[in-house]
A and B are shown apart, each in its own frame.
Chain A
Amino acid sequence: MVSIRSVPSTPSSLAAGDFPWVIEHREDRCTLCGRCTAVCPVNAIKLMYMRQRMPKLVLSSSERGSSFRTFVGIRQRTEVANRCIGCGTCEKVCPNQAIRPQPNTVSDRHRFVNTQGGEAWKRGGRRNEPGPSLLDKISFNRISMLTDPALDAGRHEFSVNTLLGRVLSPEEYLRRQMAGEWIPPVREIFPFIIGSMSFGALSPNMWLGLLQGVAYCNEVLGIPVVMATGEGGCPPWVLRSPFLKYIILQIASGYFGWDEIIRAIPDMQCEPAAIEIKYGQGAKPGDGGLLMWFKVSKMIARLRGVPEDVDLPSPPVHQTLYSIEESVMKMIQSMSMAWDFKVPVYPKISGSNSAKSVLNNLVRNPYASALLIDGIDGGTGAAYNVSMDAMGHPIASNVRECYLDLCAQGKQNEIPIFAAGGVGKNGNVTQNGLALIMLGASGVHMGKYIMQAAAGCLGSEQNRCNVCNVGICPKGITSQNPKLYRRLDPDLVAERVAETFMAINTEMKKIMAPLGRSQSLPIGMSDALGIADKAAADQLQIKYVC
Chain B
Amino acid sequence: MCRLALKTASEPFSPYTVLQAMEAMQEGYDGSGLGLLLRGLDFTDYSYNARDPVFSGIAHTEAALHRFNAFMQDRGFDLKYDHEFEMDLFKIEATDRHKYILRVFKTPKAWKSLTQDEIDLEMMLTRLALRKDGEENGGDFTAFSFWPDVAMMKEVGWPLDVGEALGLDSHRIKSRVCMAQGRQNTNWGINLYACHPFFIQGIASMTNGENTAFLPIKDWLSGKGFPGYIGYQSDSEVFAHILHYVVKQLKLPLEAYKHIITPLTTEALKDHPQGDFLLGLRNVCRRLIIDGPNAVIASLPDETCLLAMDAKKMRPATIGGKPGEWAIASEMCGVAAMIPDRDPSLDYQPMREHTIIVPPDRQEFQIWSQFDQFPLPQAA
- Judged by DSSP, the binding face of A is loop
Residue A250, interface by CB 8 Å: no
A133-146: CB near B (< 8 Å → 1, else 0) gives 00000000010100
Instruction: Tell me how far the C-beta of A159 lies from the nearest C-beta in chain B, rounded to whole angstroms.
Output: 7
Rounded to whole angstroms, the CA-CA distance of A410 and B220 in the bound complex is 6
Q: How many residues of chain B get a CB closer than 8 Å to chain A's CBs?
A: 44
Which residues in window 131-162 of A have CB below 8 A to B?
142, 144, 147-149, 151, 156-157, 159, 161
Known contacts A413-B284, A413-B286, A516-B292, A170 near B250 by CB under 8 Å: yes
With CB as the reference atom, state the residue of chain B lying closest to A408. Answer: B223
Residue from A142, A411, A516, A526 whose CB has the most chain B CB atoms within 10 Å: A516
Residue A13, interface by CB 8 Å: no
Find chain B residues with CB under 8 A from A171 CB.
249-250
Which residues in window 166-189 of A have CB below 8 A to B?
167-174, 177-178, 183, 186, 188
Residue A523, interface by CB 8 Å: yes
Find chain A residues with CB under 8 A from B212 CB.
142, 144, 148, 515-517, 525
Rounded to whole angstroms, the CA-CA distance of A388 and B222 in the bound complex is 40
Total A-B residue pairs with C-beta atoms closer than 8 Å?
A: 109
Residue A443, interface by CB 8 Å: no
A388-427: CB near B (< 8 Å → 1, else 0) gives 0000000000000000000111111100000000000000
With CB as the reference atom, state the residue of chain A lying closest to B224. Answer: A410
Residue A219, interface by CB 8 Å: no
Rounded to whole angstroms, the CA-CA distance of A518 and B213 in the bound complex is 10
Rounded to whole angstroms, the CA-CA distance of A324 and B310 in the bound complex is 45
Residue B70, interface by CB 8 Å: no
Known contacts A173-B281, A519-B311, A147 near B187 by CB under 8 Å: yes
Q: Which residue of A148, A168, A523 is within 8 Å of B210 (Cβ)?
A: A148
Instruction: Tell me how far the C-beta of B214 lies from the nearest C-beta in chain A, rounded to whole angstroms.
Output: 8
A516-546: CB near B (< 8 Å → 1, else 0) gives 1111101111110000000000000000000
Rounded to whole angstroms, the CA-CA distance of A156 and B283 in the bound complex is 22
Which residues in window 239-284 of B have CB below 8 A to A?
245, 249-250, 252, 262, 265-266, 277, 280-281, 283-284
With CB as the reference atom, state the residue of chain B lying closest to A520. Answer: B289
Instruction: Tell me how far the C-beta of B186 lies from the nearest C-beta in chain A, rounded to whole angstroms.
Output: 7
Q: Are B314 and A526 in contact (CB under 8 A)?
A: no
Known contacts A147-B209, A156-B312, A407-B223, A173 near B284 by CB under 8 Å: yes
Residues of A within 8 A of B (CB): 142, 144, 147-149, 151, 156-157, 159, 161, 163, 167-174, 177-178, 183, 186, 188, 407-413, 515-520, 522-527
19 more CB-based (< 8 A) A-B contacts, given A410-B224, A522-B216? A144-B210, A148-B210, A148-B212, A149-B293, A159-B265, A172-B284, A173-B283, A177-B378, A410-B222, A516-B210, A516-B292, A519-B262, A519-B290, A519-B291, A520-B289, A524-B216, A525-B213, A525-B215, A526-B215
Q: Which 3 A-B pairs have the closest CB atoms?
A: A410-B223, A516-B212, A148-B210
What are 17 inter-chain pairs, A to B, with CB distance below 8 A? A147-B1, A147-B186, A147-B187, A147-B210, A148-B212, A148-B293, A171-B250, A407-B219, A407-B223, A412-B219, A412-B287, A520-B213, A520-B289, A520-B291, A523-B287, A524-B215, A524-B219
